Amino acid sequence: MIALTLAQLADVLDGRLHLAPGDTPDTVVSGGVDTDSRLMQPGGIFVAKPGEVTDGHLFVDAAVAGGATVAIVERVVAASVTQVVVADAIAALADLARHVVGRVRDAGDLRIVGITGSNGKTTTKNLLARILEDEGETVAARASFNNEVGAPLTMLRVTDTTRFLVSEFGASAPGEIARLAGLVEPDVGVVLMVGMAHAGGFGGIDATFQAKSELVRAVRPGGLTVLNLDDPRVAAMAPIAAERGVSVRWFGRGAGADVRADEVEVTADGTRCVVTVAEGSGDAVSAALHLRVLGEHHVMNALAAIATATALGVSLQDCVARLETVELAERWRMQPLGSERVRIINDAYNASPDSMAAALRTLAQITGPGERTVAVLGAMSELGEYADEEHDRVGLLAVRLGIQRIVIVGPAARRMYLEAVAQGSWDAEAIFFATADEAYEYLLGELRDGDRVLVKSSNSAGLRFLGDRLGESFS
């Protein structure tokens, strides 16, 4: 974080300053900001966030032991540390992020990119960060830090020398992206797709469209939106950009995209394609890309990253060279485990109908002659009234793709199993287990040389840990 005096910090947060012995209002703080006492570093600022299960105020002493020199609290606690008392710790975190990013932007050449979409945010963020980090100091969200806590924490890692801030904006209800993106008014807003992820919270696909379009409305006038031309709902956001005086740069597989991919070939060691970028003169430049991140669907994420980076002045050749160094987008996202004998693809950090379908298609595409497809599937969360229908669709798709063993785990995913059986996968081709432990014991005895195994579920189903166990067992 940038340097602030304690007095400035209290003023930014509209808080009351309670000084510890040895501190004065002119004492300067510049350490990292966090809500987790276990992650405190010397000189850090601890935000005592009330939670559903516990309360951050109970961990102020632990934060001090970790090196915290300031605590942002909603009530004074008995701890030997300077405290800034605020009405709402989460709101204070947002206020501090807005102030820090605004100061750095006003003083230098900081460029801010915001990314949203029903799927692909974290992968695209990581790909774009990999491209930009060779251009200058780049701050990007860790893992999926994209909510009311994670997004401001990412912003607060900005320093006076940061050149690029890449923020990921997620939401489970309308208005959340508007609040988060509104903290920084991105120079570039990237919208990947509008799908069924979190549809239960939004209230349907049309409401999801409105929520994702909040990022387009938050882009500062004169800025840029990078939109998916292949997704009709995302393409429909172009008029919103025009109303705000924001230009549009299209990415996609179609000929009309400013950044497009042709000659796409999916293999077990990644995806190859030819990327073409249209230039302002009407000319175009092309380059071959070998994206080692598994899955054809990640081509679109790479195109979004390239469209953004080239708009920020990076050459296509540099984009391609840097992307080809990326072997894994993020842990538990199409993560290769196991061995050549039994390959495990652990993609169980999250799941939606769209990402589930993409992962199943990838499994089918990368499995060669003499090899067997095995899909270990768990529930998709946050679908609300659409849950039954969408789980049925996944079971149906798995059968139509010819997946040879369909292993369904957990009561919330049982409809996938029932639909697979109804579609003809009844002769031991589809099997159901109530727990991951039961599935693990079955798979230890069932998997054989030449198997290609996908493990896919929402985070809440916990199958990512099953994927890790299988990876270790067959390494």
8 A C-beta contact, residue 384 and residue 395: no
pLDDT at position 38 over 90: yes
Beta strands in 245-352 (DSSP E): 247-252, 259-267, 270-278, 284-291, 335-338, 343-346
- Judged by average pLDDT, the poorest of 67-76, 161-170, 329-338, 449-458 is 329-338
* Exposure class string for 69-84: b at 16+ Cβ within 10 A, else e: bbbbbbeebebebbbb
Cβ-based neighbours of 61, under 8 Å, separated by 6 or more? 79
Summarize the confidence of residues 74-88 as an average pLDDT: 96
pLDDT at position 201 over 70: no
Rounded Cα distance between 63 and 72, Å, is: 11
Rounded Cα distance between 220 and 184, Å, is: 9
8 A C-beta contact, residue 366 and residue 267: yes
* 38: exposed, middle or buried (Cβ count in 10 Å: 0-12, 13-18, 19+): exposed
Cβ-based neighbours of 410, under 8 Å, separated by 6 or more? 378, 379, 433, 434, 435, 436, 457, 461
Residue indicated by tokens 């990013």: 101
Summarize the confidence of residues 387-414 as an average pLDDT: 96
> In the structure, what pLDDT confidence band is assigned to residue 428 with cuts at 50, 70 and 90?
confident
Angular region, 245: left φ>0, alpha ψ -120 to 50, beta rest: left
Domain ranges, ordered by start, for the chain: 4-87, 92-323, 335-473
Rounded Cα distance between 73 and 66, Å, is: 17
| 201's tokens | 């919270």
Query: Can you give the pLDDT at residue 197?
Result: 60
Picking from 338, 337, 336, 349, the residue whose alpha carbon sits closest to that of residue 378 is: 349
Query: Can you give the pLDDT at residue 382?
Result: 84
| CATH 3.20.20.70 is held by the domain 4-87 | no
| 6's tokens | 């304690």
CATH class of segment(s) 335-473? alpha beta
Query: Can you give the pLDDT at residue 200?
Result: 58
pLDDT at position 409 over 90: yes
Model pLDDT for residues 234-261, shown as the tens digit of each residue: 999 999 999 999 999 999 999 899 999 9
- DSSP bridge partners of 333: 330
Query: Can you give the pLDDT at residue 199?
Result: 59
Residue indicated by tokens 């379908």: 357
> In the structure, what pLDDT confidence band is assigned to residue 87 with cuts at 50, 70 and 90?
very high
Query: Can you give the pLDDT at residue 53?
Result: 80
Rounded Cα distance between 47 and 98, Å, is: 16
Amino acid at 294: L
Beta strands in 24-157 (DSSP E): 28-29, 33-34, 45-47, 70-73, 82-85, 111-116, 138-140
Region 92-323: CATH code = 3.40.1190.10
